[in-house]
Structure 1
Amino acid sequence: MRVTAKSDYALRSLLELATAADSSNHEPASAPMSAEELGRLQDIPHGFLQAILSDLRRAGIVASRRGKSGGWVLARDPASVSVADVLRAVDGPLVSVYDVRPEAVAYNERAEVLQHVWIASRAALRRVMDSVTLADLAAGNLPGEVHALTLDTDAWEAR
């Protein structure tokens, strides 16, 4: 899996909005945050961030408010937005093979086992990406199963 700048920026900007949310009830913050402020806080280029926020709005993850005190707010409870939701909103499916979903890829009989590798990869990614929410990230805590994966020293080794 390759995490694009678009996905990274989307998650970082959403973390800013999530941490601005009222921690007592996880409701979205009442005061919207401007794209300029989000970009400044996370060092994200303004034009790129605007395009990302538009994708997130189309996915129903953020909402914009107009006016002098306008800006961006979370449209959903941070606990209901998974990392996978964000990745899909800005970059499409978690796994694709030359822009085709793995279940739709056709191979000859010698290579058909590759389709199973792509499907298994998607299932493994879903286990992590669907289980981690913006609320988890904002709290600085990962679900136990995901945290356990980070404790494996081999996971930290580049290959």
Structure 2
Amino acid sequence: MRISARADYAVRAALLLAAGESEGPLKAESIAEAQDIPHKFLEGILNDMRRGGLVTSRRGAHGGYQLARPAAEISVADVVRAVDGPLVSVRDVRPPELSYSGPAESLLPLWIALRANVRRILEGVSLADVASGHLPGEVHALAEDPAAWSNP
């Protein structure tokens, strides 16, 4: 799985909105500056997140963007899907739509298992978890493995 710049920027923007949830809407310019995200690129991302039902926007002097529901109810997977589509695909095809033959036949269950694990992690972590710094134990355990930090 590859995390695109769009997905990274979207999650970072959503986390900023989650951290300031009680303070009202944030302007795109403020989000872009705070997270060092190109403003025009962020506008497209925020529009995708709005269409995906994750943020709402309001025009005017007191306008801006805010989360459409509490941060504890929005998973990292929700944000990634809103801007990038499916979490795991192979050649832009969802694994269940693939078929292989011969020695490659076992690839399909491998891709499905990969998708299940990515889902389990990203769907199990809310914006509130990340914004508060309280990641689930399973995520901590995986990240504490020294092999997770090296590139073979």
Q: Which residue of 2 aligns with 1:84?
A: 77
SS at match of 2:2: coil
Q: Output the aligned Cα RMSD.
A: 0.9
Distance 2:138 2:4 in 1: 24
Instruction: Give the 5 Å matches for 1:133-144.
Output: 133-144=126-137
Q: Which whole-Å CA distance do the structure 2 matches of 1:59 and 1:80 have between them?
A: 14
Which of 119, 128, 132 is matched with 1:126 structurally? 119
Residue 68 of structure 1 aligns with an amino acid whose one-letter code is A
- Aligned-pair CA distance for 1:109: 3.0
Deviations 1:49-80 (A, max 9, x none): 00000110011100000112111011011001
User: What is the TM-score with the length of structure 2 in the denominator?
Assistant: 0.97
Identify the residue that residue 54 of structure 2 maps to in structure 1.
61
Query: Which of 119, 138, 147 pairs up with 1:145?
Result: 138
Q: Which amino acid aligns with 1:51?
A: G
How many Å apart are 1:110 and its aligned residue? 2.4
Structure 2 residue 93 is the aligned partner of structure 1 residue 114: no
Aligned to 1:25: none
> What residue is the counterpart of 2:66 in the other structure?
73
Identity %: 55
Q: Which moved more, 1:7-16 or 1:104-113?
A: 104-113
Alpha-carbon deviations, 1:62-118, whole Å to 9, x = none?
000011211101101100111111111110101111111001101123211111110
Aligned to 2:9: 9
Query: Which protein has greater RCO, CA pairs closer than 8 Å, 6+ apart?
Result: 2
Unaligned runs of 5+ in 2: none
Letter in 2 for 1:2: R
Paired position in structure 1 for 2:32: 39
Q: How many residue pairs are counted as aligned between the two chains?
A: 152
Gaps in structure 1 of 5+ consecutive residues: 23-28
SS at match of 1:119: helix
- Whole-angstrom CA distance in 2 between matches of 1:110 and 1:137: 41
Q: Does 2:102 match 1:99? A: no
- One-letter identity of the residue aligned with 2:42: L
Give the structure 2 partner of residue 26 of structure 1: none
CA–CA separation in structure 1 for the residues paired with 2:113 and 2:88: 10
